[in-house]
């Protein structure tokens, strides 16, 4: 399981770089494994990531597989995994998320697809990267959503597995971009609680977003 997880993380890193969601070493990715978590090492260039750039740490943060020190944001990842439903975490310095964090303290629910992220997304106040303060505030934000925006920093998304977390990263960046485009013209309208409830009911009734036979 661990070798597969490490390879999957390396693949995801290269894909995130190709999609412009990270630059250079600015980001980190992890997956829950039996031994603890597999996480990108510090200083990894995402576009060139390999299996050897991913370490496995136990629940106390000690490296048990690999020769490289884990990401400086290890504490943030461990905080996210306090939720047993989280299987993977992606942290990027995605441009639209950063831009939004400079002009707003939240991403309102402006599109129904945001409901898969938890609806409205909090912008976590600035704290130094790798700090216990940032880990604690981000972990708290992720208890009510699958995403958080870090002020002057970037974005964090969680998922049931790595594919889910990566998809949530792309969705969050898309929503941030739409919000910024709308805000350049006027104050963006938000979906009301009633409208959100109607969307949830319709999604459940129609199995929205799931493949099904006719």
β-strand partners of 26: none
Structure tokens at 204: 């459940």
Contacts of residue 155, defined as CB under 8 A and 6 or more positions apart, other chains included, come to 91, 92, 93, 94, 97, 98, 147, 148, 149, 169, 172, 173, 176
C-alpha torsion sign, points 173, 175, 181, 186: negative
122 is catalytic: no
Instruction: Encode 49-79: b = buried (16+ Cβ within 10 Å), e = exposed.
Output: bebebbbbbeeeeebebbeeebbebbbbbbb
Q: What is the enclosing helix (H) or strand (E) of 64?
A: strand 63-65
Q: Distance between CA 24 and CA 94 in Å, rounded?
A: 12
Q: Distance between CA 52 and CA 50 in Å, rounded?
A: 5
Q: Distance between CA 130 and CA 5 in Å, rounded?
A: 23
Catalytic residue among 73, 120, 133, 173: 73
Residues serving a catalytic function are 73
């Amino acid at each position: 399981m661990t070798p597969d997880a490490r390879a999957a993380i390396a693949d995801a890193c290269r894909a995130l770089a190709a999609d412009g969601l990270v630059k250079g070493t600015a980001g980190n990715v992890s997956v829950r494994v039996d031994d603890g978590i597999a996480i990108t090492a510090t200083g990894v260039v995402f576009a060139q990531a390999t299996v050897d750039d991913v370490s496995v740490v136990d629940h106390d943060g000690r490296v048990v597989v690999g020769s490289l020190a884990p990401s400086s944001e290890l504490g943030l990842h461990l905080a996210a995994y306090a939720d047993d439903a989280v299987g993977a975490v992606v942290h990027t310095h995605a441009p639209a998320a950063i831009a939004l964090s400079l002009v707003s303290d939240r991403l309102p629910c402006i599109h129904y697809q945001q409901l898969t992220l938890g609806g409205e997304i909090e912008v976590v106040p600035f704290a130094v990267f790798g700090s216990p303060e940032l880990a604690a505030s981000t972990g708290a934000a992720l208890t009510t959503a699958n995403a958080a925006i870090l002020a002057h920093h970037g974005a964090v998304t969680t998922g049931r597995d790595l594919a889910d977390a990566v998809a949530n990263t792309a969705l969050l960046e898309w929503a941030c971009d739409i919000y910024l485009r709308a805000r350049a013209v006027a104050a963006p309208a938000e979906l009301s609680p009633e409208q959100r409830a109607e969307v949830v009911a319709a999604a459940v009734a129609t199995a929205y977003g799931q493949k099904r036979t006719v």
